[in-house]
Amino acid sequence: MEKYVWQHMRRDEIAEMRDHGAVVIVPVGSIEQHGAHLPVDVDIFMAQTVALAAAQALAPDVPVLVAPPVWTGVSPHHMHFTGTLTLSVDTFSQVLRDIVTCMWRHGFRHILLLNGHGGNDQTMKAATLQLGAEGIEVAATTYWDLAAAELAELVEGERKKVGHACEIETSMMLYLRQELVDMSTAVKDLGIPPTRLPTGGAVYFWPVFDPGTTGVAGDPTLATAEKGKAFLDAITKNLAEFIRTFHKTHIP
Amino acid sequence: MEKYVWQHMRRDEIAEMRDHGAVVIVPVGSIEQHGAHLPVDVDIFMAQTVALAAAQALAPDVPVLVAPPVWTGVSPHHMHFTGTLTLSVDTFSQVLRDIVTCMWRHGFRHILLLNGHGGNDQTMKAATLQLGAEGIEVAATTYWDLAAAELAELVEGERKKVGHACEIETSMMLYLRQELVDMSTAVKDLGIPPTRLPTGGAVYFWPVFDPGTTGVAGDPTLATAEKGKAFLDAITKNLAEFIRTFHKTHIP
Amino acid sequence: MEKYVWQHMRRDEIAEMRDHGAVVIVPVGSIEQHGAHLPVDVDIFMAQTVALAAAQALAPDVPVLVAPPVWTGVSPHHMHFTGTLTLSVDTFSQVLRDIVTCMWRHGFRHILLLNGHGGNDQTMKAATLQLGAEGIEVAATTYWDLAAAELAELVEGERKKVGHACEIETSMMLYLRQELVDMSTAVKDLGIPPTRLPTGGAVYFWPVFDPGTTGVAGDPTLATAEKGKAFLDAITKNLAEFIRTFHKTHIP
Amino acid sequence: MEKYVWQHMRRDEIAEMRDHGAVVIVPVGSIEQHGAHLPVDVDIFMAQTVALAAAQALAPDVPVLVAPPVWTGVSPHHMHFTGTLTLSVDTFSQVLRDIVTCMWRHGFRHILLLNGHGGNDQTMKAATLQLGAEGIEVAATTYWDLAAAELAELVEGERKKVGHACEIETSMMLYLRQELVDMSTAVKDLGIPPTRLPTGGAVYFWPVFDPGTTGVAGDPTLATAEKGKAFLDAITKNLAEFIRTFHKTHIP
Amino acid sequence: MEKYVWQHMRRDEIAEMRDHGAVVIVPVGSIEQHGAHLPVDVDIFMAQTVALAAAQALAPDVPVLVAPPVWTGVSPHHMHFTGTLTLSVDTFSQVLRDIVTCMWRHGFRHILLLNGHGGNDQTMKAATLQLGAEGIEVAATTYWDLAAAELAELVEGERKKVGHACEIETSMMLYLRQELVDMSTAVKDLGIPPTRLPTGGAVYFWPVFDPGTTGVAGDPTLATAEKGKAFLDAITKNLAEFIRTFHKTHIP
Amino acid sequence: MEKYVWQHMRRDEIAEMRDHGAVVIVPVGSIEQHGAHLPVDVDIFMAQTVALAAAQALAPDVPVLVAPPVWTGVSPHHMHFTGTLTLSVDTFSQVLRDIVTCMWRHGFRHILLLNGHGGNDQTMKAATLQLGAEGIEVAATTYWDLAAAELAELVEGERKKVGHACEIETSMMLYLRQELVDMSTAVKDLGIPPTRLPTGGAVYFWPVFDPGTTGVAGDPTLATAEKGKAFLDAITKNLAEFIRTFHKTHIP
């Protein structure tokens, strides 16, 4: 039985984990269009999946709890496609702050927001700054940033990072949930980079996925389940490593 | 494959359901202490379970979509026990409004907020009033209100309604997820009624579940899996019936 | 001289009542269209009237203060008719919280929000939950819920509960303020139930009173001043009884 | 019968006034300590009283409606004394904006916020600026500013303006509601000016009425009912004059 | 070197000023159209200029710090002209509260908000009331109110007070920054008074500067650099005098 | 005369720039402690300086406007040191949104938020996402990200990026405003990295600059004015290049 899944545990079991100084991983993601070929929950599913994989990898050495998945992210730039459910930036920020504050009040001191949606990244991190202003310290990351080098090496196509419904995401979905993927509708699209502007990512400029576009940023046609496993292993390994360090870090 | 689970579908599949005038059920619940014997996700798990059961019962006659579960509810009165994760009333209201607004913008016109946590009920309904002020009409209910008469008849103990971690909830959990229930710690407690005041429920007065209390309102020791199935069947039947009617109701 | 009307008292008189452990009743209502035959202040006038009647009935046994009437309620669904003045749900909630917080800071511990407008009910109760999260405990009710059985028995028409500008409200207005009622324009309308959906009230779905409708829910043509007195007496008696109990309840 | 009192009218009566281009006066005030000798509702009572007096003086020439009294003002600086009920500055601003917006939506174009509490003045006027940003134009004043010269001439004591629980307010209360005034506890106090700083009012600096103080700013011992009538007449005359001009002003 | 300019100082220099009980002047203004002949920063430039002049005049007797200029004011009524940058009333209020709260937390007790834009005046003062509710006392003024008598005497034209892009403001700009002024486009316009209504300023009613208008309120054609110096000297002298008194006032 | 400084221009001059499709650079920074040796305005001063330098470099080829400096940033983690003035994350976000919205309404389509404070980066970018949801597209960057490679090469010490009051910032200050720098108090401190955790920056975890620390992150003792010029030139060159591209990019 999974004894690291917050929502499946009883109050005393969670309290016991707190007493053991458990690290809490909060999967954060979104429900949004993911090209024509992927289901809308890729981002939150992946964040939850790597969180659980890391927890499993660390047990029983390092006590870890995986919080219920926060799928209510910010994706206004995907609203032209049906299926996207987005909060405003303000509501999303408040949701994260309310949840983390509860954990802090219960006595947890090692809390990691583990994000799976690019659009959430900035707001999530801004929320942690505000929490800090209230004396609550929390770590935050987007999962692929933990294995940027490894992913870049494993990727076959031109786009070496996670885009949207891309080679990396599609591969992992093929490995984990092939039945929800429709590869016949997967298309390559490098035309919508994470930013429209040629500055190598230094300038932030949100591309809106307009109705006429593919809703894809990357090349999902190169995806295979095999690569998916490799991507997943790299991410899990690095996440587990970080958790191990985080667990040993003193948070006042 | 489940083709009524929003988050497992692709954008075009969801759009197709919209074109067929699908009803969307949004499970709403909470993560909060549920006595010593139940896991913390009872309320959202039950809301999601009955939503899925109704969707299944109605397929393929009535097109139904079950949205991702909104587990971020309001439970400040349970914060004395570890494991509770509560939003403020304001944040929770905004979460519901943001989600429903997205569905409305995508063209859905039959949206039902299906709640499984007593503490959410008032805020959820107030949110629908505000949505109405913006021209968005949405239905809302707490699942046990749909089968109040049937439940009262099936209950064995003194408390004929859902309390908290009570005979009804515990029975359904025994039927559905026995492995998460620890009946050895289940205790009867009729001392914390839904209101401290003897007015038959006419006056609303929140009981705070203080540290020294059991965190239970009802008699879980009477629970059986068999009764759990009966409760579940009654609720599912009535919910399905309502959805059938709702689907035929014209929403401008 | 009325020594239970908060706004007519001097600061030391109010402090003295606080020292005697007085119960504070806060009348809450709205200004909104009430059919063609009733003035727009029915809801707040009735809440204030029953509050004062109960205070009078209990004097000098039980110390009671009646706060100034909070007529700023939520009625967006009545905005199609001139005269309606509505707050947003958020503003209304904040008004109640600010007022109750002041009373609590002044040392009052028995505060009852006594509502006279159906549309306020949910938001008012949600506000008390949020106040509870801040350690402030407050009771809340809608006045007709205190005498549901008695009213149902006294009503002549099909609709046994308070609707809108209905037999009950119109009767009480005829009894109390006949000069403001124009019975020549009173019409029966059972077509707009409190919910459009046939689930016996289990599902909440706000009816918007559209321009072409009567703005009535019930049968005011059956109203008489005599019945009005009977309705009023039943409500006052039950409210007074509740206050007596509330006064004796320990609030920490 | 008073046909200029918004809350006592039926929806069609109000609509008729709108069709006649009626001016709406919204009395705005507060519930707050007013020295030991005056009831807590002086400010809202006075605003409402002069509004009604002006409406009466202008009838039937100029159509005027007096809105329900907005007694929920801002008085945090009076919270040290029991009886004060204050909103936050933000809530108060929102209340005014919501109410005025409803009137504007109903088609009224001549709306005057008539304030009777110094502490409200700035927030009220700031609210009108924000309404202007949304295309809603509304006038706002504090009633004594309309007759500053006349009041200064009529006052006997050193303080020539309205302070708090002062000669002017106490006189008008003696004239209008003697039974609520306890002159035996009235004390002169010029020690708490509207600002602590000797700049003739040019610099705004809120004096907090601390527990040890009198809660008075002015000399109520000089008050007489006779002077009260004179103050009232001067204010009413000037207000009526303004309304007459306002009514003729074109608001787009 | 200017040792009273907050932003040019190092953290320990500011702390030292705090230890000496320094008065902090916070210049508050706006960026908004100022007729065709003046740059858009007149209001914040003037507030900052008089603050610096007073600080210089008082040194080394009275320790004064001039905070960075808060140019983000409220000017929605000027948005019809290009160049205006306005916050909402709510945002502006929050900006002031956040800044003053920081200063208070650092130990400063003599803080003066010195405003140079009429449209800010009400919101700024309302913000200080809210700060007072949180125990933070702060003074606030609009600079020309400190020298109303002197200015009225020095003005040549009919309009004796500061209007907008008027004789006073234009004169001071000619004296201080002639190179930014284009007198060839300066026009007299008395048609847009601070209020449209003939009540001598007693009633507040925002004039919106519509596209077809001059955007001027007053007579800039009478402006001279010489008069500008006289205006400036009068204001600086009175401000310095106030600061001297403020510095000696005990703030608990 | 500088004809690219927004605040020094007249309304028609700004409108003319808009008609020429000018790019607007909005300098964004903060007022916060910068070690013992630097003044508190380094971040906003630097953002403004590089904006002006780029504007100058591009004139008259590319029309550029530099907006007034937004010095009201978020720095709660620096509040332990005197001089820091921080907004909350929410207020800061709203300030940016209000300002950009005004520019958009005036017709500007090429707006760049140019930030100089690490703590602002996330909130600024989250604000642009929300603006996008409202149809307003805006670019955002932190100035050193535009020249990361060049800076890393020029830096002498171990820390190759901008930290806080570090080699890069101190060098540029020595070059530009030596009179405000006190090198005698400059200390090297590599102990407070941008994140406490050894993950190469992949995980975000705000270090709070506690009272006992130096408030420095980097090695300012290596700073020279000469290096400052080199840093500045690299940044300016890259920023100008970006502006040139941005100006040619079509924004719908």
* Nearest residue, CB atoms, D10 vs list C14, C15, C39: C39
Cα dist from A207 to A63, A190, B43, F136, F239, whole Å: 40, 13, 38, 11, 21
pLDDT at residue number C2? 63
Tokens representing residue B94 in the block: 């905004």
Q: Nearest CA to CA, how far is A252 from chain F (Å)?
A: 11
Neighboring chain A residues of F74 at a CB cutoff of 8 Å? 126, 129-130
* Mean pLDDT, residues C85-114 taken together: 98
pLDDT at residue number B195? 54
| Confidence band for D190, pLDDT divided at 50, 70 and 90 | confident
Answer whether E203 touches F (CB < 8 Å): no
Answer whether B169 touches A (CB < 8 Å): no
Q: Greater confidence, E166 or E191?
A: E166
Interface test with E, best of D98, D138, D196, D205 (most E CBs within 10 A): D205
pLDDT in tens, B26-65: 999 999 999 999 999 999 999 999 999 999 999 989 999 9
Q: Give the angle subtended at the CA of D40 by the CAs of D97 and C53, to the nearest 5°.
A: 90
In whole numbers, what is the pLDDT of chain D averaged over residues?
Answer: 93
- How many helices (H) and strands (E) chain F has is answered by 7, 4
Question: Is the pLDDT assigned to residue B189 strictly greater than 60?
Answer: yes
| Confidence band for A23, pLDDT divided at 50, 70 and 90 | very high
Cα distance between residue A4 and residue A22, in whole Å: 10
* Nearest residue, CB atoms, A8 vs list B105, B107, B180: B180
Question: Is the pLDDT assigned to residue B201 strictly greater than 80?
Answer: no
Cα dist from A131 to A118, C112, D139, F31, F163, whole Å: 21, 35, 42, 20, 22
pLDDT in tens, D123-166: 999 999 999 999 999 999 999 999 999 999 999 999 899 999 99
Tokens representing residue F61 in the block: 């080829």
**Dihedral pair phi/psi, residue B176, rounded to 5°:** -95, -35
What is the fold of A2-248?
Answer: Rossmann fold (3.40.50)
pLDDT in tens, C179-222: 999 999 999 998 765 455 555 677 888 777 787 889 999 999 99
| Confidence band for F89, pLDDT divided at 50, 70 and 90 | very high
pLDDT in tens, E35-70: 999 999 999 999 999 999 999 999 989 999 999 999
Chain E meets chain A (3+ C-beta pairs below 8 A): no
* Nearest residue, CB atoms, D128 vs list E88, E132, E204: E204
Neighboring chain B residues of A82 at a CB cutoff of 8 Å? 11-12, 14-15, 18, 106-107
* Nearest residue, CB atoms, D197 vs list E93, E132, E246: E246
Answer whether A126 touches B (CB < 8 Å): no
Q: Nearest CA to CA, how far is F106 from chain E (Å)?
A: 6
Question: Is the pLDDT assigned to residue B190 strictly greater than 90?
Answer: no
Query: What percent of chain E has pLDDT above 90?
Result: 86
pLDDT at residue number D252? 79
pLDDT at residue number B202? 79
Q: Are F216 and F32 in contact (CB under 8 A)?
A: no
Chain A meets chain F (3+ C-beta pairs below 8 A): yes
Chain B meets chain D (3+ C-beta pairs below 8 A): no
Answer whether A203 touches F (CB < 8 Å): yes
pLDDT at residue number F154? 97
Interface test with B, best of C79, C205, C243, C248 (most B CBs within 10 A): C205
Q: Nearest CA to CA, how far is F149 from chain E (Å)?
A: 30
| Confidence band for B120, pLDDT divided at 50, 70 and 90 | very high
Question: Is the pLDDT assigned to residue F221 strictly greater than 80?
Answer: yes
Say yes or no for a CB contact (<8 Å) between C148 and B202. Answer: yes
pLDDT at residue number C113? 97
pLDDT at residue number B203? 82
Say how many C-beta atoms besides its own lie within 10 A of residue F135's C-beta.
10
Question: Is the pLDDT assigned to residue A220 strictly greater than 90?
Answer: yes
Closest chain E residue to D127, measured at CA: E89
Which has the closest alpha carbon to A112: A42, A5, A28?
A: A28
Amino acid type, D56: Q
pLDDT at residue number F209? 78
Answer whether F20 touches E (CB < 8 Å): no
Angle between helices A225-248 and A42-58 (to 10 degrees): 60
pLDDT at residue number F181? 98
Return the domain boundaries, chain C. 2-248
Q: Are B57 and B47 in contact (CB under 8 A)?
A: no
* Mean pLDDT, residues A105-126 taken together: 96
pLDDT at residue number A193? 52
Contacting chains of D (3 CB pairs or more, <8 Å) are C, E
Across the E:F interface, residue pairs with CB atoms under 8 Å apart total: 160
Say yes or no for a CB contact (<8 Å) between A67 and B85. Answer: yes
Chain centroid offset of residue C169 CA? 11
pLDDT in tens, A46-97: 999 999 999 999 998 999 999 999 999 999 999 999 999 999 999 999 999 9
pLDDT at residue number F233? 98
Cα distance between residue E20 and residue B138, in whole Å: 61
Say yes or no for a CB contact (<8 Å) between D99 and C82. Answer: no
Say yes or no for a CB contact (<8 Å) between E10 and F34. Answer: yes
Neighboring chain F residues of A213 at a CB cutoff of 8 Å? none
Question: Is the pLDDT assigned to residue D15 strictly greater than 90?
Answer: yes
Interface test with A, best of B1, B5, B8, B10 (most A CBs within 10 A): B10
Question: Is the pLDDT assigned to residue E148 strictly greater than 90?
Answer: yes
> What pTM was estimated for this model as a whole?
0.97
| Confidence band for E190, pLDDT divided at 50, 70 and 90 | confident
Neighboring chain F residues of E30 at a CB cutoff of 8 Å? none
Cα distance between residue A219 and residue A217, in whole Å: 7
What is the 3 state secondary structure string of C174-229? Answer: HHHHHHHCCHHHCCCECCCCCCCCCCCCCCECCCCCCCCCCCCEECHHHCCHHHHH
Amino acid type, C53: A
Neighboring chain F residues of A128 at a CB cutoff of 8 Å? 204-206
Q: Are A101 and A13 in contact (CB under 8 A)?
A: no
